[in-house]
Amino acid sequence: MKDDFEPTVVAFLCNWCSYAGADLAGTSRLKYPENVRSIRVMCSGRVDPVFILEALNEGIDGVLVAGCHPGDCHYQSGNYKTNRKMILLKKLLTDFNVDSDRVRFEYISASEGQKFADVVTDFVGTLKELGPSPLK
Amino acid sequence: MESLRGVKMIYELKVEEDAPMTVNNFLKELLTEGEVDAVIAMTETPSGKSAFPTMISHPEKLSTNVFAPLLPVSTGTVVSKVTKVKPPKKTLAVVLRSCELRALTELVKLNQADLENIILIGVDCSGTLSMDTYQGQDQDITEAVLKNESEDDLRTACLNCKDPVPKNADLVIGTFGADTDKNLFLDAKTEKGAEIVSALGMDESEGEEVREKAVQDIRDEKEENRKAFIQERSEIEGPDKLLEFFDTCVNCHNCMKVCPVCYCNECIFESSIFDLEGDKYMKKVEGKGAYKTPTDSLLFQLTRFNHMMLSCVGCGLCEQACPSDIPLMDVITGLADNAQELFEYEPGDDPEEELPLVVYREEEFEDVEER
C-alpha cells in the first residue's frame, strides 16, 4: 500500500531566490512531483516554526523551507537565521521522536530550477519511505 | 555593568536574631542611609500562607524574608514590568534567587528589561517548595530549608537546579559555607556593589575559602542530580506518547503566562488566528476520525518549547502553575539542556552574549546545505 501513498508537501519559498527557482523549473518544463503546495514568503526568515508545526499538526506530511544561498539573502542574514531556527526545530522534533526528515531546509537560488525539481523529487521520495505523518 | 572579575571582595553580615531578620536589617540600612530609594524583596503575606516579591520604600514597612522558600512568581518578570517601558530615575534594589537572575538576564537580552538604576542583590537559594507544601508548614520552614532539613519537600525544578548560586548580581548574600545562625556572606561582585558595601562600612570576611568550596560542592551536587534526573526520565517515544503526556492539558496557557522567558508580548495562541470555519473542523475530523478538543493544545506546547527552550532557566514555574499537574519539568529539563548544548548557549550566564537565534556565523552547520 505504501506505493499508493502520495504525501502532501508544503513549501515555503523565499520571494527573491527559491520562488524564482521554482518558477524557472516551471518555465523550463522540468518535471517534478505535483505533491508540493508552494507558499511564497518575502524571506525564509519569515517562516516561524509555528507555521511548520501547524502544517504537521494539520496532517501535512512534510514541510520544505527554501531560501537564498549563504551570502545572497536580500535582507543580509534572514537565511542564516532560518538555518538556526530549523536546526532548533529539528532538534525538538527528534527529541519527541518525530522524524525530523519531515522538515527540510534548502538553499535554492533563482537560477536553480533544476535543483528545485531535484529537491522536491527527493523529498517526496523520502516522505513516501516514511509513510503518512503520524501527527495526521 | 562593570565587572570586577578577578577582584574578590567578600564581607560578613553578623546574624543578630535570625538570617531573614539580618538581611531585612541590611535592606533597612540601604534605605535609611539613602543608598537606594526602594527595594523589591520577598515578603510574607499577612495570612502567612504565601510570600511575594514586594516593593517597599518606607524603612518601617520592611518585614522581608528573602529566604522564604517559595517562588510564586519570578522576580525577573517583576523587574521587567517595572523597567520595560522606562527604568526608574531613582535607585531600586532588587533581591533575586539565581533562577530569577538568569531569567532577568535573558529578559534584558530580549529588550524586555532595563537595568539602569537597578541594583541586583542575589541570594543563595536552598530551594523552594510547592505552594501546597509551603501553606501546610509552620513558620520554621524557612530555617528548615535553609539548613537543608527539608530536601524531600523541594520542587522538582529546585532539586535539579541549574545553579543555585546567583550570577550577574551586584551583591550576593551567601548562605552556602556559612553557619546561618552566626553569619552570612556578602559578596561584592561589581563596582556598584562594592561602593554600597564600603559606604555602609562592613567587616571583611575570613571565610572566603570555605565559601568557595561550599559553592563548588553544591554546584557539583546539583549537576549530578540534574544528569541523573534527565537520564531517569524515559524518553517520550513518538507522537502517541507525546499526546498521552499532554492529554490532561486544559489549554489554559498558565505555563506561558508564568514563564519568565516566554517572550512574545502577545502570544499567537491568544489570538484568533487558529479560529477556523466549521467546515475546516469537519474536514479535519474526517481525516483523523476523532480528536480531542480544544484542538491546539499540543501545537501550543510544541511551539512554546520551540520559543523558550534556548532561554529556559529551569525555574519550574510552568509545572507549578499547571492545574492538571502535568510534570512539565520531566520533559523540559532534558529538552532545554539538549537545545542549549547544541548552540553552546547557557541562559543567564553572560549578559554580553547574544541570543542564539539573533546571531549567525557564516561558517556553521554546513551539513544542512550539503544534504
Peptide bond into B164 cis (omega under 30): no
List, in sequence order, every beta strand (DSSP E) within B131-287.
171-174, 183-188, 203-204
Contact (CB, 8 A) for B153 and B69: no
Q: Which of residues 289-308 of B touch A (CB under 8 A)?
A: 296, 298-299, 302-303, 305-307
pLDDT at B156: 95
CA trace torsion A106, A112, A116, A119 (10° rounding): -60
Structure confidence at residue B109 (pLDDT): 96
B334/A contact by beta carbon, under 8 A? yes
The pLDDT value given to residue B206: 85
Q: Which amino acid is at B24?
A: N
Percent of chain B with pLDDT over 70: 94
SS (H, E, C) chain A: CHHHCCCCEEEEEECCCHHHHHHHHHHCCCCCCCCEEEEEECCHHHCCHHHHHHHHHCCCCEEEEEECCCCCCCCCCHHHHHHHHHHHHHHHHHHCCCCHHHEEEEECCCCCHHHHHHHHHHHHHHHHHHCCCCCC
> In whole angstroms, what is the distance from residue B130 CA to residue B225 CA?
19
- Tell me, yes or no, if B335 comes closer than 8 A to chain A by beta carbon: yes
Interchain pair A57, B310: CB under 8 A: no
- Rounded Cα distance between B171 and B29, Å, is 15
Asked if the Cβ–Cβ distance from A89 to B365 is below 8 Å, we say: no
In this complex, do B342 and A91 lie within 8 Å of one another by their Cβ atoms?
yes
* Mean per-residue pLDDT over chain B, rounded: 90
Strand ranges inside B149-189, DSSP E: 171-174, 183-188
In the structure, what pLDDT confidence band is assigned to residue B139 with cuts at 50, 70 and 90? low
Strands ordered across the beta sheet of B183-188: B51-56, B38-44, B92-96, B118-123, B171-174, B183-188, B9-14, B203-204
pLDDT band at B364 (very low <50, low <70, confident <90, very high): low
ipTM of the complex: 0.89
pLDDT given at position A1: 47
* Chain B, window 198-217: residues with a beta carbon less than 8 angstroms from a chain A beta carbon: none
Nearest by CB to residue B303, choosing from A50, A59, A136, is A50
All three cell numbers of B97: 534567587
Residue B371 in this model has a pLDDT that exceeds 50: no
Q: Give the bridge partners for B118, in sequence order.
A: B92
Chain B: residue nearest A66 by CA? B369
pLDDT at residue number B8: 62
Give pLDDT, residue B366: 57
Q: Residue B151: what pLDDT?
A: 81
User: Is residue B369 over pLDDT 60?
Assistant: no
What is the rounded CA–CA span in Å between residue A81 and residue B314?
A: 25
- How many residues does the structure list for chain A? 136
Chain A partners within 8 Å of B281 (Cβ): none
Query: Does residue B365 carry a pLDDT above 90?
Result: no
Closest Cα to residue A14, out of A58, A75, A59? A75
A88 touches chain B (CB under 8 A): yes
Instruction: Please tell me the distance in Å from A127's CA to the nearest CA on chain B.
Output: 15
- The alpha carbon of residue B333 is apart from the nearest alpha carbon of chain A, in Å, by 12
Q: B32 near B192, Cβ under 8 Å? A: no
Using pLDDT thresholds of 50, 70 and 90, give the confidence band for residue B2.
Answer: very low
Instruction: Please report, for residues B76, B86, B226, B342, the alpha-carbon distance to residue B81 in angstroms, rounded to integers and kept in the order given.
Output: 9, 10, 31, 31
Q: What is the pLDDT of residues A40-81, one digit of tens each?
A: 999 999 999 999 999 998 889 999 999 999 989 999 999 999
Mean pLDDT score, A12-26: 96
**pLDDT per residue as tens digits for the range B198-252:** 888 888 888 889 999 999 999 999 999 999 998 887 666 667 777 888 889 999 9
Query: What average pLDDT does the segment B276-282 reach?
Result: 88
Q: How many percent of chain B have pLDDT more than 90?
A: 70
Mutate to test the interface with A, among B234, B300, B303 (most CBs of A within 10 A): B303
**At A125, is the pLDDT very low, low, confident or very high (cuts 50, 70, 90)?**
very high
Cβ neighbors of A134 (< 8 A, separation 6 or more) are A98, B238, B239, B240
The whole-number pLDDT of residue B164 equals 97
Residue pairs between chains A and B whose CB atoms are closer than 8 Å: 91
pTM for the complete prediction?
0.92
Read off the pLDDT of each residue in B60-71 and give the average, rounded to a whole number.
95
CA-based nearest residue to B344, from B332, B355, B333: B355
Query: Which value, to the nearest 10 degrees, does the dihedral of the CA atoms of residues B57, B63, B65, B70 take?
Result: -80
For residue B60 the three cell numbers come to 518601617
pLDDT digits (tens, 9 = 90+) for B310-344: 999 999 999 999 999 999 999 999 999 999 999 99
Per-residue pLDDT at B13 exceeds 60: yes
- Give the per-residue pLDDT at B336: 94
pLDDT for position B184: 94
